Amino acid sequence: MPWKVLEVCSSDNLPEVELFSLLEEQIPRYKVRADTTTTFGGYENQDWFVNYPALPIPQEGLGLTTEQTREALNYFREYPC
């Protein structure tokens, strides 16, 4: 026995939908094209990016012991972002 949409829905205020128009609707196909009219030379405002690394790291390192380094890595392994 075929089921009806009214049997599935429990509300009387549902909008009607034309199923045939939904089935025939075509999704537009887009092509990626290079924009040759403008030259993108990067952002002029320095606020758009963050330098990496954000803080300068001294040549001699951060001064952490082997145990401190291991425990920091264990922390990030146990509590990933």
Determine if the pTM surpasses 0.85.
no
How confident is the model over 11-70, as pLDDT tens digits?
A: 566 566 655 555 666 777 777 666 556 655 555 666 666 777 778 888 888 889 999 999
DSSP letters for 6-71: HHH---S-PPP--HHHHHHPPPPP-------SS-----SSGGG---SSSSPPPTT-----HHHHHH
